[in-house]
Amino acid sequence: MSESDNLFEAVAAAREDRVMELVREQLGAGVSAVDVLAECNRGMVELGNRFAAGECFLPDLMFAGMIMKSVATELQPLLEKVQAAASRGTVVLGSVQHDVHDIGKDIVATMLRGVGFEVVDLGVDVPPEKFVEAIAEHKPQVVGMSVLLTTCFKSVIATVKAIEESGHRQAVSIMVGGAAASDLLRENAGCDFYGKTAVDGVKFAGNVTGTA
């Protein structure tokens, strides 16, 4: 199949014009925003594999990152369509220290806001002490960490440790997600939940706050 024929390939080949066309086509054909996003994610993973195999280079990753941001902007109103009347709780969210990947984290934030959570988005490369300060200030029920680099596992572990040492551990449920995260990381770092997708994170926050 040629790269222009499907969304997965168009994303993996960083073909911006074709990606946006196919996203609109799929939405027009009734495919849900969550499914469109999932196919784009698979394309991004494939692009990452090609990068790891030396078949494409950093500028391709950067360009694809920009394309995904456009896709996320296009999908945002659809992901936000369920508006709750009252706040369902607060989530503090960030990409861990030394990790600047933020596309997935932003999608998690958009979806949480869309279903009525307040989200305190700390951004990228967030040091453990910033998570702790935000917990003290905003009193969230849930803390979410995004991690895409295996070299940043230690940042996840350090963040959980800092939360424990600050005395806030019992007050918050901690979730971890992102392409480098796994159930094993959750267990080793002492997080409460590993979410493979943004939807999993939203479900977890709902369960924690008893608003699912």
**Interface pattern 28-57 for ligand B12 (x via CB under 6 A):** -------------x--xx-xxx-xx-----
- DSSP class per residue in 42-69: HHHHHHHHHHHTTSS-HHHHHHHHHHHH
Contact 146/105 with Cβ under 8 angstroms? yes
The single residue among 94, 116, 128, 144 that binds ligand B12, judged by CB under 6 A, is: 144
Segment contacting ligand B12 by CB under 6 A, of 6-14, 127-135, 138-146, 159-167: 138-146
18 Cβ neighbours under 8 A, 6+ residues apart: 3, 4, 10
- Counting contacts by CB under 6 A, is residue 135 touching ligand B12? no
Residue 119 contacts ligand B12 per CB under 6 A: no
**Judged by CB under 6 A, does residue 179 bind ligand B12?**
yes
Residue 54 burial (10 A CB sphere; 0-12, 13-18, 19+) = exposed
Count of Cβ atoms closer than 10 Å to residue 85 Cβ: 6
Identify the residue among 58, 82, 85, 86 touching ligand B12 (CB under 6 A): 58
Give the distance, in angstroms, between the CA of residue 164 and the centroid of all CA atoms in the same chain. 24
User: Is residue 197 part of the contact set for ligand B12 (CB under 6 A)?
Assistant: yes
Choose between 89 and 195: whose C-beta lies nearer to ligand B12: 195
Enclosing H/E stretch for 10: helix 7-12
Interface contacts to ligand B12, rule CB under 6 A:
41, 44-45, 47-49, 51-52, 58, 61-62, 64-65, 68, 98-105, 107-108, 144-146, 148-151, 175-180, 195, 197-198, 200-201
